[in-house]
Amino acid sequence: MDNALGEPQTILLLGGTSEIGLAIVRELLSPAARKMILACRHVDKGEQAAAGLRHDALDVAVVSFDGNDTASHEQVVADIAAQHGDIDVAVVAFALLGDGAVTSKDPVAAAAVAHVNFTGTVTATIAVANRMRTQGHGAIVLLSSVAGERVRKQNPVYGGTKAGIDGFAQGLGDALEADGVHLMVVRPGFVHSAMTVGLDPAPFATTPEKVAQATAKGLRSRRRTVWAPGILRFVFSALRHLPGPVWRRLPLG
């Protein structure tokens, strides 16, 4: 349970090798933190990440988790809770970017991205939410993207999954408020990370660390939605209303 200052003692990262996810959990660490669980598909890479986080007062566990294996998500979360107790903050940070040129034409490739990014995120988030309902407290940070605000032709499957997740999260967040659980959506813009290496950065590109700072500030303020950087909220307020012919001509990468 969070301490008297609202600082989480147990933090779960679903997508335990995500650069943005790891930056967020580092930002959330305080002297109150006692346990961190990195749940990831590649356990060996998770152990490498854990080695840089462990210290005498912080126990960092690495567990196997596959965003694609939706049938396992409820049991994974149950096992984590059984071993580590209440989960104060869970960060849902796994996703596939996919090659838009491929996924917009190949149904199999499109389905693979859609299953992980939408179905997998939904099942994992509900599994965590159910656990927090039982606890009567907790916060979920769900990483989305500005790509879902108005889906670009360059990667419609990825953007479409983020649009779907945004809608899901807004509705689930409303339902969870009565149970003492807070759900916050984070919408980063282009983030310089391993996921975006080789891609041309979009305007207002940011870093995992800056996204993490905005996320931690949003949690402290009990925000429902966080934009990173914040200026993108106003940029997309304009972009979402542009006429289609104008939108399609914009050089957005």
Residue 188 phi/psi, 5-degree rounding, is: -75, 155
Judge whether 2 lies within some domain.
no
User: Of 65, 94, 118, 158, which one is the catalytic site residue?
Assistant: 158
- Can you give the pTM of this predicted structure? 0.90
Domain count across the chain: 1
Domain extent at residue 173: 10-249
Judge whether 3 lies within some domain.
no
Average pLDDT per consecutive 10 residues, the chain (253 residues; last block may be shorter): 68 96 95 94 95 89 97 98 96 95 97 98 98 96 91 91 96 96 93 68 80 95 91 74 68 59
Judge whether 5 lies within some domain.
no
Single-letter residue type at 178: A
Active site residue 105: no
Q: What's the confidence (pLDDT) of residue 108?
A: 98
Judge whether 24 lies within some domain.
yes
Judge whether 18 lies within some domain.
yes
Evaluate whether 183 touches 90 at the Cβ level (below 8 Å): no
Q: What's the confidence (pLDDT) of residue 126?
A: 98
Residue 225 to residues 169, 176, 188, 239: CA-CA distances in angstroms? 10, 15, 11, 18
Judge whether 1 lies within some domain.
no
Which DSSP string do the residues of 145-170 spell out, in sequence order?
-GGGTS--TTSHHHHHHHHHHHHHHH
Token readout for 127 is 């599994």
Evaluate whether 77 touches 92 at the Cβ level (below 8 Å): no
CATH of the domain at 84: 3.40.50.720
Q: What's the confidence (pLDDT) of residue 197?
A: 61
Judge whether 162 lies within some domain.
yes
CA atoms within 13 A on the CB side of 215: 33
Q: What's the confidence (pLDDT) of residue 246?
A: 72
Judge whether 122 lies within some domain.
yes
